A and B are shown apart, each in its own frame.
Chain A
């Protein structure tokens, strides 16, 4: 029989072998990708997703503390795509230095969103209250409209969006998630 460490025992039964890779995890994955800061790198990453038929749910790109390196944070639906295949293909890109698939419990993810609502009169107070509950900020006010800023997890932003919809939501913009590992180690 197979040992836990992959086998140091003398004989092996083929029935004991299991293929565990290629399985769909069924959840959202946040990939934090360090890339060389060179022209065309984002195109290579995005093009890879298109070519292999993977969908990007959100995408955020920004500098790191090293000028030569940028960070791409993207979320992929692990219910649709085998996540190990996605990361292995990404690793083949020469400009990709490191990929970390951030476990939900061991990382913090945040997204920023702006909401424009056309609301006046008594309803405005109600919307402001909802904003308070979500710890949002009012960043612009005119006679007919208010703009809110909210940060939080994707789920929180989506919940806020649902709450605002009945009040004349004009438009909404989201940055896509960025994420960082908890604890002392680098992401």
Chain B
């Protein structure tokens, strides 16, 4: 069998439905195999678009995303999605073509040291040097990408290797002596954690993206409802717990709610679940949650005590640990009345410090209002994607995510340009759901070209550009921390997004009136095919509240 046909067999065996990629010289053999394969291929217009599309697909479906690129620039264009997938623990297999084995190291045409360049940003990578090893390598790559703490895996195949014929024998199991992710939590530690929860008078469940990745939303809800534990979530964990109700504190961190951040500040016990104490969460580390003891549940042992020392570390898959913790806790029969004072205090914070913004009586659209309008127009029943910047934070604050995998954004790396291709991937993975991208006018221009792929393939993403004519988050920081010395944040009135959408074969709409905004957005989402909506919003609006960089959470401003 041709090695490239074996690649297709392996992808099929892994359950791959779609590959996002772009052909070139060094992966020509692989692309020849697509001609006769059942596996769908979406031709992207830039490899970065393909990489982010594979991420969006993976985040929306929970399956492994697949992205192909050629050697040299094809591979270097994938570096951003690879690192993005690493930071947000997204399972994606990246397969790159490489120049002929005998030319390696000679600075051949389109040669780049793909393995070397990507090494710091991958979960693992393989350079295939023997065609017979291709099937086993591919299955190992998928296994590593999806198991334990998920992440990106790169498979680099020189073009002469992929041109070879091999004796294809299906691979049914992989064996990696140095890779055994621990999924079962230690039972003693779990019992200890249950006792700590029972002893706590001011507990908080602090949940992160690990709960989404581990498909443990139900298990989290069961733990939270085993008593009246207050729950806060990171940007990446939104949707794992319903964004409403008395136990919901709102998002925490730099642009989190005061209630969530004050609760962390005064808690006596914080139970971190699939979260990693990122600097955007802790603010000034020395003064983070000064009164709290920490339970830390994570599948990655290296996250435990990396930033904040854990008192009760539990290494394991949240999906298996949380039910055990819940039943241990229930068995203790703790007196729920001990939480009365704490819940009353939280309730008072919620009443005193609700999220809000000042609006005026005209037609001007405040960006926060735009997000509320999207929430109303979709009823919370859409997959919402975003790019990176102010619009991302406002979406996190004002869209109330009811379920996991409804919120797709680039959290760890903060990659502008992530949104459109990610939305494309999400729509391909979930064709029956509305996929709405809330983009910034800066971010959208970083991977705008993928509108062509959306139009060509009939991928009906609805792009709502929150257009304030500037790089809003940078402008906000220059206003607050650089004495309003605005440096290169004004983007003017360019491009004309409506005309651009039409040029790409999509529907273009411009909205400027808040009084009809909900209906107009609803109509835009109902319009068939890809749609781009240029929503003009207030330019000088800031994301509040805010923990200033390097400050403790209790000193929130705005």
Inter-subunit contact A6/B188 (CB<8 Å): yes
Inter-subunit contact A7/B311 (CB<8 Å): no
CA distance A89 to B268 in the complex (A): 29
Inter-subunit contact A95/B309 (CB<8 Å): no
Supposing A6-B188, A94-B124, A94-B144 touch, asked if A14 and B178 sit within 8 A by C-beta, the answer is no
Inter-subunit contact B177/A36 (CB<8 Å): yes
B277 smallest CB distance to A (angstroms): 12
Chain B residues whose C-beta falls within 8 Å of the C-beta of A51 in the assembled complex:
120
Inter-subunit contact B127/A94 (CB<8 Å): no
Inter-subunit contact A95/B199 (CB<8 Å): no
Interface residues on A, range: 35 or more
Is B300 engaged at the interface, CB distance under 8 Å to the other chain?
Answer: yes
Inter-subunit contact A84/B305 (CB<8 Å): yes
- Which of B119, B191, B195, B200 interacts with A47 by CB under 8 Å? B119
Is A12 engaged at the interface, CB distance under 8 Å to the other chain?
Answer: yes
Number of A-B contacts (CB under 8 A): 86
B297 smallest CB distance to A (angstroms): 15
Is B558 engaged at the interface, CB distance under 8 Å to the other chain?
Answer: no
Is B269 engaged at the interface, CB distance under 8 Å to the other chain?
Answer: yes
Supposing A14-B196, A91-B302, A94-B178 touch, asked if A39 and B127 sit within 8 A by C-beta, the answer is yes
CA distance A114 to B395 in the complex (A): 65
Is A13 engaged at the interface, CB distance under 8 Å to the other chain?
Answer: yes
B144 smallest CB distance to A (angstroms): 6
Chain A residues whose C-beta falls within 8 Å of the C-beta of B191 in the assembled complex:
7-8
Is A92 engaged at the interface, CB distance under 8 Å to the other chain?
Answer: yes
Inter-subunit contact B310/A19 (CB<8 Å): yes
Chain A contact residues: helix, strand, loop or mixed: loop
Is A35 engaged at the interface, CB distance under 8 Å to the other chain?
Answer: yes
Supposing A43-B116, A94-B144, A94-B176 touch, asked if A7 and B188 sit within 8 A by C-beta, the answer is yes
6 more A-B residue pairs beyond the given contacts A19-B305, A22-B305, A39-B129, with a C-beta to C-beta distance below 8 A: A11-B195, A19-B311, A22-B306, A35-B178, A51-B120, A91-B301
Inter-subunit contact A92/B120 (CB<8 Å): no
Inter-subunit contact B199/A94 (CB<8 Å): no
CA distance A148 to B312 in the complex (A): 53
- Which of A6, A7, A19 interacts with B309 by CB under 8 Å? A19
Complex interface residues of chain B between 303 and 331 (CB less than 8 A to chain A): 304-306, 309-313
B276 smallest CB distance to A (angstroms): 13
CA distance A12 to B176 in the complex (A): 40
Supposing A17-B293, A19-B310, A97-B178 touch, asked if A92 and B302 sit within 8 A by C-beta, the answer is yes
Chain B residues whose C-beta falls within 8 Å of the C-beta of A93 in the assembled complex:
178
Is A107 engaged at the interface, CB distance under 8 Å to the other chain?
Answer: no
Is B192 engaged at the interface, CB distance under 8 Å to the other chain?
Answer: yes
Supposing A14-B293, A21-B304, A39-B127 touch, asked if A6 and B177 sit within 8 A by C-beta, the answer is no
A97 smallest CB distance to B (angstroms): 4
Inter-subunit contact B119/A44 (CB<8 Å): yes
Q: Counting chain A CB atoms within 10 Å of each CB, which of B195, B199, B269, B309 scores highest?
A: B195
Which of chain B's residues has its CB closest to A69's CB? Answer: B177
Inter-subunit contact A12/B302 (CB<8 Å): no
B312 smallest CB distance to A (angstroms): 7
A61 smallest CB distance to B (angstroms): 16
Q: Counting chain B CB atoms within 10 Å of each CB, which of A2, A18, A40, A96 scores highest?
A: A40
B374 smallest CB distance to A (angstroms): 39
Chain B residues whose C-beta falls within 8 Å of the C-beta of A98 in the assembled complex:
178
Which of chain B's residues has its CB closest to A98's CB? Answer: B178
Q: Counting chain B CB atoms within 10 Å of each CB, which of A12, A47, A51, A89 scores highest?
A: A12
The 7 closest A-B pairs by CB, nearest first: A19-B309, A88-B302, A12-B195, A17-B311, A22-B305, A97-B178, A21-B305
Is A85 engaged at the interface, CB distance under 8 Å to the other chain?
Answer: yes
CA distance A115 to B116 in the complex (A): 36
Between-chain CB contacts (< 8 Å), 13 pairs: A5-B188, A6-B189, A7-B192, A12-B199, A13-B199, A14-B196, A14-B199, A36-B177, A36-B178, A39-B127, A40-B115, A43-B116, A88-B301
Inter-subunit contact B310/A94 (CB<8 Å): no
CA distance A11 to B293 in the complex (A): 16
Chain A residues whose C-beta falls within 8 Å of the C-beta of B200 in the assembled complex:
14
Inter-subunit contact A85/B268 (CB<8 Å): no
CA distance A92 to B300 in the complex (A): 8
